[in-house]
Amino acid sequence: MLYYIKADKFLLENKEKHGGYLKIENGKFGDFVSDVPEGANVMDWSGQTIAPGLFDTHIHGVKGHDVMDGKPEAVQEISKAILPLGVTRFLPTTLTSSKEDLKQAILSIKEAINVGLEGAQSEGIFLEGPYFTETHKGAQNPSYFRNPDVDEFREWQSLAEGMIVKIALAPERENALPFTEEVSNDGVLVSIAHTDATYDCCKDIVDAGARNYVHLFNGMTGLHHREPGVVGAALSDSRAFAELICDGFHVHPQVASMAYQVKQEKLMLITDCMRAGLMPDGNYYLGEFPVVMKDGMARTESGSLAGSTLQLIDGVKNLRDWTDEPLYKVWHRGSLSPAESLGKADKLGSIEAGKLADYVVLNPKFEVQATAVEGVINYQRED
């Protein structure tokens, strides 16, 4: 399939391009041209902005469905629900749970992917846990916490047919260093989360291969002038990415702005969305925990934040408003940075010749007018 996109603006990696035609061929981006051949198929999005598809590397569920439901249908519904919101790629994300439930979740994700997803496409599985510690447990169930085990991970990876691309752990746990070295060498993104670690402990785990901090400022020791803690390690180490939930609940806007200024391209926007996303206020579950959502904020009975109900495009909007940075820069923190964190920036994350043609059409109100996956428009706004 060959066609050209005409639009007012295109959000590129290093600038905002105005006018012209973008070639789409065989599901990939081509070059920009000022004129098209006679009789060419032109998709006219005059008055609109074209942006790369968003990539949510940390999402548990949405619209009443959760990965831990252990059903392929749940993964399929999540895929379909986030496509109209501009997300073209995602990582179905598990929670700390029993061995049986984790295995079932992995199997259900694998089955859904193998059958084929109708909306956003999965780029693998993210295991959030179970190798955490209790002090900053958040909505993770401590009864299942344990030390990292390479043999256990190998069992999961075999079950997943190699689809696990990211796993989170607390670096202070026994065996965390050798586990990180071995798993990182296999190309899995080891991430730091739900931890009471010191700055030095974090530095050691990054030396061993860890390259990401999960939901920065949440589920970790804070910044202190005598002990920089996990937050200090995340902000000061240019080797590691840091995830940020920009819903205004998890992180104060001014702190989010500071994190953006410090981390720049190493900051990536996530949602950590759970099943209450896109749903009305009320009672829900996150894993085994009852959760109450009020005014869009989800909390456990103990008062801990329980994931979020944020949508990634709203996180982009918020960070743009909080930082007053150009949209093309902030947008890529939700598309290119996630792709780079997983070593997938050669094919995803930005509008560049040769990359997969995942793109979003934005109208002047910053609403998603259409979403395309590999050049095929799979969602279009009815109006």
CB 243 within 8 A of CB 266: no
Q: What is the DSSP string of 230-287?
A: HHHHHHH-TTSEEEEE-SSSSS-HHHHHHHHHHHGGGEEEE--B-TTTTS-SEEEEET
Report the half-sphere exposure of 265 (CA within 13 A, side-chain side). Answer: 11
The H or E element that residue 18 is part of is: strand 16-18
Phi, psi of 21 (to 5 degrees): -125, 135
CA-CA distance, 59 to 310, in Å (whole number)? Answer: 10
Size of the chain, expressed as the number of residues it contains: 383
Q: Please work out, in degrees rounded to the nearest 5, the angle formed at the alpha carbon of residue 93 by the alpha carbons of 91 and 97.
A: 160
56, 196, 247, 272: the active-site residue = 272
71 burial type by CB count under 10 A (0-12 exposed, 13-18 middle, 19+ buried): middle
Q: Please work out, in degrees rounded to the nearest 5, the angle formed at the alpha carbon of residue 72 by the alpha carbons of 94 and 76.
A: 90
Concerning whether 383 is annotated as a catalytic residue, the answer is no
DSSP state of 162: T
Using alpha carbons, list the distances in angstroms from residue 128 to 242, 273, 288, 295, 302: 15, 13, 15, 26, 21
Enumerate the active-site residues: 272
